[in-house]
Amino acid sequence: MHFAAAMMKHMTSIVLALTLTGACGSGPDEQGERASGAGGSSDCGGYEQGSGYFTSADTGDDVAGAYCDASMLYWTYNAASATLRVRHTRTEMNCGANPSVDLWLEEGVLQIVEKEVLDDEPYGCQCVFDFDVLLEDVPPDLVPLEIWQREHYEDEGKGMRIWTGTLDVSPGAGEIVVDDQETPWCDQESP
């Protein structure tokens, strides 16, 4: 079944865009419709092993052998429940951020929008955060996916697209390098 048609067929439930910090919302010019699922972010430093939507059973013994070496996209697909779990690791944002995430479906493409939300003035440092999402009603097919990042000063839109591709969910799990550049803001003692 074509992905867009299957997603439109299953888009009857209310969409949740949850975060660990309780921040939510969207910019006025974002297009498309909310995707069915939920999402959240870690504290500064990333998720500890086995927390968030991923467990050690989902990803083996280690989510990232060398956490600071690369920003990674890990995913697992459960055909029985038609759910796709996605973790984006080592995302740089201001240390004062309360990150949140929105999930969109636009022209058949699932979009994860990672938002840097600040309650006060930005801190003078950057931290690394992990984002987890659980997408529902995802058919066992090729899944077009985009990762966007919106910084605190961007009041509208989705920000900048940092990754785009198509996941073949038939193997059940996979990983993709999003950015292999070193960052001075990552602590090797992170997950």
- Residues 105-158 have pLDDT tens digits of 999 999 999 999 888 888 989 999 999 999 999 989 899 999 999 988 776 778
- Residues 11-22 have pLDDT tens digits of 222 222 222 223
Please compute Rg for the chain using Cα positions. 16
- The reported pLDDT for the residue numbered 16 is 27
Let me know: does 114 contact 91? Beta carbons within 8 Å. yes
Separation of alpha carbons 17 and 83, rounded Å: 15
- Residues 22-77 have pLDDT tens digits of 333 333 345 678 888 899 999 888 887 656 665 544 444 444 457 888 899 999 99
Task: Give strand pairing partners of 125.
Answer: none
Full-model pTM? 0.75
- Residues 147-156 have pLDDT tens digits of 999 988 776 7
